[in-house]
């Protein structure tokens, strides 16, 4: 029922800012006890959680990325966004948005993912 879809540029130059938007349908990002997360998978590596914003607007970041990560939301559009500044080729990955049950801890809905390549 709930659907998530990532959007944004697929190519970003080094030192610039990566910006992605997740559009949610079938459920409100402000209703229910859910975290709305950004997760990525670099080539040849496992899934890496980046950040979440929960139903009440609380933001939590991966410590190693916190200094250059910003997550926000537009409740009128039922969207949440990721901005990752000062990108390097190591930020190249497939980026996903996903919903997590705050009580159970599982990710029950995922977007299809979007490839982001950092290259000059």
pLDDT digits (tens, 9 = 90+) for 38-62: 999 999 999 999 999 999 999 999 9
- What per-residue confidence (pLDDT) applies to 92? 98
Split at pLDDT 50, 70, 90, the class of 105 is confident
- Give the C-alpha separation, 28 to 15, whole Å: 34
- What per-residue confidence (pLDDT) applies to 104? 80
Query: What mean pLDDT is predicted for residues 26-45?
Result: 96
Sign of CA dihedral 61, 10, 100, 28: positive
């Amino acid at each position: 029922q709930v659907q998530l879809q990532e959007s944004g540029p697929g190519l970003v130059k080094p030192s610039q800012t990566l910006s992605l938007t997740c559009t949610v349908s079938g459920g409100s990002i402000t209703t229910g006890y859910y975290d709305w997360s950004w997760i990525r998978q670099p080539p040849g590596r496992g899934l890496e959680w980046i950040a979440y914003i929960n139903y009440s607007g609380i933001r939590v970041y991966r410590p190693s990325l916190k200094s250059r990560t910003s997550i926000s939301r537009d409740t009128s559009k039922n969207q949440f966004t990721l901005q990752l500044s000062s990108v390097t080729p190591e930020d190249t990955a497939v980026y996903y948005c996903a919903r997590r049950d705050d009580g159970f801890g599982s990710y029950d809905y995922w977007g299809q993912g979007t490839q982001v390549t950092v290259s000059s």
